[in-house]
Structure 1
Amino acid sequence: MRAIFVVLALLITAGCQQETEITGSTSNMCAIDLFPSYNPKNLNQCLAVCSKCDRGTTVTCSTSCKLRGAG
């Protein structure tokens, strides 16, 4: 009985945790509008797309881009 409760609790919490990535068509279109050959590994392009398309700040965009491998 306890194992069933644990499994149900894990399923419920897993359904609540959703990550959003830049794979959505709206963000992709915004990035392509800014840079026709957008390269997310290019730090300058990543920062520009993050701040304009995702309305990020300099600090959050810098951190996000670097965590994604932009350099």
Structure 2
Amino acid sequence: MGYLRRKIINGLTRLVAVLLPAQQQYYRWLIRLNPRSADSHYHLGKLLAEQKNWQGAIDCYQQAINRNHPALLHPFVRL
């Protein structure tokens, strides 16, 4: 069971490594299409925070706040 579990975790890690850059490119593309989209800035910020790119996440969250994204206007949101 340990060997199989390690193989599955290794495969999932590789999959995530491929998908995260694709997601980031997708949100950046959406922002280029519609720079006023609070949702795109918010989701890119979440993705960057998951990658521990704190400054990039803060910049995206600030853009989402400037565009009145409801999730970031809540007083208990974690930034």
Structure with a larger share of its residues in helix: 2
Which TM bucket (shorter chain)? Answer: 0.3 to 0.5
TM-score computed with the length of structure 1 as normaliser: 0.40
Higher relative contact order (CA 8 A, sep 6+): 1
Larger Cα-atom Rg: 1
